[in-house]
């Protein structure tokens, strides 16, 4: 007989465990033997009781409630043994757990295009407000650093647990010319990997670095320190992540997709948040004007390269929702985890309850 469709669907969604030492599961065959032994002992005890008392006295002494209660401690003890045997087989299951990401870098655009008012009151203020709301919802044990980028990129707040310091840093943003999105990503990488030889100074276009520096040059460590770098699978780094908030219109610096490739090679996910509208707006400042549009394709490409996600924020309200979504996704994630410890804890609790009830009800342990 075929199972109902709803039952088949439900069973398919259950997290089925796998076992590192499945041979230990054979020991579970001892449970039915213990049950048979318990039944045999009960019958033997009953026969012994009938030798010294009438059947009516035995029934009156035991009663229905007493008869049921005497089986509870042994049942709990058998369940405890079963849990211990399953724990010995080292089961793994896909469960939802708090994320192990310890550091998140907020890379925020402070270029002149962020003064556009297509997101009220303007892109920058909306981004600042949403970022502060994001920090309020993030678990307190997650360190957060802030990188601001325009024509250059710099660390305005090193990773910290202090939400107050982060808010102060966000409130101090000042708009600047140029948009170097790639620089913002690489400087963020340097904060996540401070010992990897990623030179922050090489990201700033100064006297020694020509405009249009390649990604290989930007990420190269000092000439005297040669470190072999081995790329890892994209998205495999679980101790940190980058959240990039920008309108996506790069005007200078390292190529955005090259920087994304560098992050992917280190396993770091770069979640991108597009602030503004696709149609954009014409802004003017100090005698010049330009139309600033949201470059979604670039931001989608960055997220896709790093195995992350792109979020569109067309209004201030949408932007806040994006950050709330990011907060919950960064706080909880599904992963395959060994659950032997949980089963061992369950076994210990069952054994303790079994012994306590037996001692309380019958003045003996089992």
Note the pLDDT tens digit of each residue in 259-306.
Answer: 999 999 999 999 999 888 776 665 555 555 566 678 889 999 999 999
The pLDDT value given to residue 265? 92
To 10 degrees, the CA torsion angle through 10, 12, 17, 19? 150
pLDDT band at 60 (very low <50, low <70, confident <90, very high): low
pLDDT band at 313 (very low <50, low <70, confident <90, very high): confident
pLDDT band at 207 (very low <50, low <70, confident <90, very high): very low
Terminal CA-to-CA distance of the chain, rounded, Å?
43
The pLDDT value given to residue 261? 92
Sign of CA dihedral 245, 247, 252, 255: positive
Q: Phi/psi of residue 318, each to 5°?
A: -65, -40
- CA–CA separation, 138 vs 327, rounded Å? 6
How far is C-alpha 93 from the geometric centre of its chain's CA atoms? 16
pLDDT at 315 over 50: yes
The pLDDT value given to residue 205? 45
- CA–CA separation, 8 vs 260, rounded Å? 42
The percent of residues above 70 in pLDDT, for the chain, comes to: 73
Q: What is the DSSP letter of 162?
A: -
CA angle 131, 135, 141 (to 5 degrees): 150
285 Ramachandran zone, left/alpha/beta (phi>0; psi -120 to 50) = beta
pTM of this structure: 0.62
Q: What's the whole-number mean pLDDT along residues 63-91?
A: 81
Mean of the per-residue pLDDT values of the chain: 78
pLDDT at 149 over 90: yes
The pLDDT value given to residue 1? 47
The pLDDT value given to residue 211? 44
pLDDT at 117 over 60: yes
Of 159, 191, 178, 166, residue with least CA distance to 263: 191
- CA–CA separation, 335 vs 315, rounded Å? 34
Residues 179/249, Cβ–Cβ less than 8 Å: yes
- CA–CA separation, 111 vs 113, rounded Å? 5
Q: Give the chain's largest Cα–Cα span.
A: 111
The pLDDT value given to residue 51? 58
pLDDT band at 4 (very low <50, low <70, confident <90, very high): low
pLDDT at 41 over 90: no
Span 219-266, pLDDT tens digits = 555 444 445 778 899 988 888 899 999 987 888 888 899 899 999 999
Lowest-pLDDT range of 52-56, 202-206, 315-319: 202-206
- CA–CA separation, 100 vs 327, rounded Å? 13
Beta carbons within 10 angstroms of residue 25's beta carbon: 14
The pLDDT value given to residue 10? 43
- CA–CA separation, 256 vs 262, rounded Å? 10
Written as one string, the DSSP assignment of 316-351 is: HHHHHHHHHHHHHHHHEEEEEEE-HHHHHHHHHHHH
């Amino acid at each position: 007989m075929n199972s109902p469709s709803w039952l088949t669907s439900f069973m398919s969604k259950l997290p089925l465990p796998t076992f590192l030492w499945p041979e230990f599961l054979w020991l579970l065959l001892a449970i039915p033997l213990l049950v048979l032994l318990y039944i045999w002992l009960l019958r033997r005890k009953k026969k012994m009781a009938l030798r010294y008392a009438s059947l009516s006295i035995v029934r009156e002494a035991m009663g229905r409630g007493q008869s049921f209660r005497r089986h509870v401690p042994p049942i709990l003890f058998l369940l405890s043994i079963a849990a211990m045997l399953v724990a010995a087989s080292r089961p793994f299951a896909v469960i939802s757990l708090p994320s192990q990401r310890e550091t998140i870098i907020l890379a925020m655009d402070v270029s002149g295009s962020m003064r556009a008012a297509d997101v009220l009151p303007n892109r920058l203020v909306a981004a600042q407000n949403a970022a502060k709301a994001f920090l309020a919802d993030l678990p307190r044990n997650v360190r957060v650093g802030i990188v601001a980028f325009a024509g250059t990129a710099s660390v305005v707040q090193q990773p910290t647990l202090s939400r107050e310091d982060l808010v102060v840093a966000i409130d101090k943003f000042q708009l600047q010319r140029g948009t170097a999105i790639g620089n913002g990503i690489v400087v963020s990488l340097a904060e996540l990997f401070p010992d990897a030889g990623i030179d922050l100074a090489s990201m700033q276009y100064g006297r020694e670095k020509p405009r249009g520096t390649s990604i290989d040059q930007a990420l190269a460590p000092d000439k005297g320190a040669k470190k072999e770098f081995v790329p890892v699978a994209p998205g495999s780094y679980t101790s940190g992540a980058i959240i990039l908030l920008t309108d996506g219109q790069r005007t200078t610096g390292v190529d955005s997709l090259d920087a994304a490739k560098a992050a992917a090679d280190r396993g770091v996910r770069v979640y991108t948040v597009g602030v503004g509208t696709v149609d954009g707006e014409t802004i003017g400042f100090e005698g010049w004007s330009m139309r600033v549009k949201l470059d979604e394709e670039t931001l989608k490409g960055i997220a896709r390269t790093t195995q992350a996600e792109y979020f569109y924020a067309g209004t201030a309200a949408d932007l806040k929702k994006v950050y709330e979504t990011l907060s919950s996704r960064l706080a909880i994630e599904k992963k395959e985890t060994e659950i032997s410890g949980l089963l061992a804890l369950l076994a210990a609790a069952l054994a303790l309850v079994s012994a306590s009830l037996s001692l309380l009800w019958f003045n003996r342990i089992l």
